């Protein structure tokens, strides 16, 4: 029982890290970035390459992987999403165009990673971080699982404080509420959008690298599996709600883990999403509706 709780906690932490970046872009810029899963794997791939070709310590590789994924995400905003937003005045048409553009970016980045890795599973160098197992009464866990869980909590709390307390965070909230009003207030909307996409991508890269140690390898398809779960987390939790994303990430992880452990494991994902579907029938606006109006 205790081991299943630990497993769910770790799974929820990975899902939370993945979802927070997607939530930031979606809740602030109305960018449903379908390339987020590819950025997730790109972070893992950068860590894999640096781990085997450099002698950099784990912390440096982690930061550089985040920066690399963040820059790739920011590039999408500069080259595609931003120009679409400025040229298409109809909000819904712009959102649809950005959705299609992000799908294209996902395919391109995914194929590049596949080309660089020969479509094989890539694993981080064991010299980068020695994974150690700790056997405790009733459960076991590894050092990477501790790192993942602690990092998820720090990032969620830090992001919430940054959005609420910092000057840049308040600018992000103004942008989420009304881009036009934010611009009238003297906020550099274009630069802020690039910064937001950078942070979103960096969080994806962080999650991707940490997960590569947890599952001992990733491939291009790994990110796609997390995209569906992240959509469920954000829709049920409330788009742009950090609290909602946190609660739903861990709730979904606990449901899936419990079904896998005590029920038909092959149906864990299906049952979890069936429960989400039933929930949305009664509360389609999500758990935290404020996240839709007071986004991020």
Secondary structure, 3-state, 264-276: CHHHHHHHHHHHH
Count of C-beta atoms within a 10 Å radius of residue 89: 8
Report residue 289's pLDDT band, with 50, 70 and 90 as the boundaries: low
Higher pLDDT, 284 or 113: 113
Give this prediction's pTM: 0.89
How do the residues of the chain divide into helix, strand and coil, expressed in percent and rounded to 5? 75, 5, 20
* Alpha carbon distance, N-terminus to C-terminus of the chain: 35
Residue 40 half-sphere exposure, CB side, CA atoms within 13 Å? Answer: 29
237 pLDDT above the threshold of 70 = yes
The confidence score (pLDDT) of residue 127 equals 79
Tell me the pLDDT tens digit for each residue of 106-152: 999 999 999 998 888 888 877 788 888 888 888 889 999 999 999 99
Tell me the pLDDT tens digit for each residue of 246-261: 998 998 898 888 887 7
């Amino acid at each position: 029982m205790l081991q299943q709780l630990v497993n769910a906690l770790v799974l929820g932490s990975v899902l939370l890290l993945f979802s927070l970046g997607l939530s930031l872009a979606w809740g602030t810029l109305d960018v449903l970035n379908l390339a987020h899963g590819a950025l997730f794997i790109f972070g893992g791939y950068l860590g894999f390459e640096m781990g085997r070709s450099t002698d950099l310590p784990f912390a440096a590789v982690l930061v550089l992987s985040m920066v690399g994924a963040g820059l790739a995400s920011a590039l999408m905003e500069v080259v595609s999403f931003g120009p679409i937003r400025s040229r298409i005045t109809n909000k819904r048409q712009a959102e649809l165009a950005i959705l299609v553009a992000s799908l294209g970016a996902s395919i391109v980045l995914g194929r590049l990673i596949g080309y660089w890795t020969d479509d094989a599973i890539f694993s981080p160098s064991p010299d980068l971080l020695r994974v150690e197992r700790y056997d405790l009464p009733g459960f076991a866990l590894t050092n990477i699982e501790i790192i993942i869980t602690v990092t998820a909590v720090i990032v969620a709390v830090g992001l919430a404080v940054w959005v609420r307390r910092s000057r840049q965070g308040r600018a992000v909230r103004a942008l989420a509420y009304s881009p036009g009003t934010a611009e009238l207030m003297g906020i550099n909307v274009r630069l802020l959008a690039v910064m937001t996409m950078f942070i979103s991508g960096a969080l994806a890269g962080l999650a991707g690298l940490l997960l590569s140690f947890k599952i001992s390898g990733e491939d291009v398809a790994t990110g796609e599996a997390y995209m569906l779960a992240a959509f469920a987390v954000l829709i049920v939790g409330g788009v742009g709600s950090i609290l909602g994303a946190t609660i739903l990430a861990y709730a979904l992880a606990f449901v899936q883990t419990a079904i896998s452990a005590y029920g038909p494991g092959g149906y864990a994902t299906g049952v979890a999403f069936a429960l989400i579907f039933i929930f949305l029938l009664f509360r389609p606006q999500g758990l935290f509706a404020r996240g839709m109006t007071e986004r991020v």
